[in-house]
Structure 1
Amino acid sequence: MEQPGTGSRNAQAATGEARGHVRCTPPAAAELFEIAVLDTTGGDPHWHTIGWGVDRSEADSIAQSYVTRPLCPYEEARIRQNGHLVGVHRRRS
């Protein structure tokens, strides 16, 4: 995804060097914890991201709340940091 006003990612500088591409995810995002849930409603189970935590305890709290909520809890919530699985919360039957 391009940032407004930076030009096309395919633009070439006079020296042949690519220019105009701006990263959408800042380096600090690697420190965030992604929370994804397993959605089993609608037939075909699928994973989708529901949010981000700024630290592990916040991510655990958010994930736990989605698998224990009274109305339509998710089957499972996973926490990842920088692409690595660091935690799993499951709904208790």
Structure 2
Amino acid sequence: MPLPTVNLDDRRFDDIMDEARRLIPQFCPEWTDHNASDPGMAILEVFAWMTDLLLYRVNQVPDKLLIAFLEMIGVQLAPPRAAGAPVTFYLSAPQDTP
């Protein structure tokens, strides 16, 4: 069974754009045109897109690092072992001879 994936940052494109729109009045009060046709909004969309790509990569922690992180908090992987499964066979019809 693979280890569960770790989600370090769950923000997506829409979340980043919403946060950027909320911060416009605080950092740039003279910017009043927040329509999609505004070049500044296009720059924000590119920024949000690139940030979304970066967050995707950040959330793809390599297994070796994830195992090292788990070992630091005291979680140990179980050693490999052969798989086993109970199997039962049933006859489709009664047989004449054993």
TM-score normalised by the chain length of structure 1:
0.28
**Bigger share in helix:** 2
Greater RCO (CA < 8 Å, at least 6 residues apart): 2
Q: Higher Cα Rg: structure 1 or 2?
A: 2
**Bigger share in strand:** 1
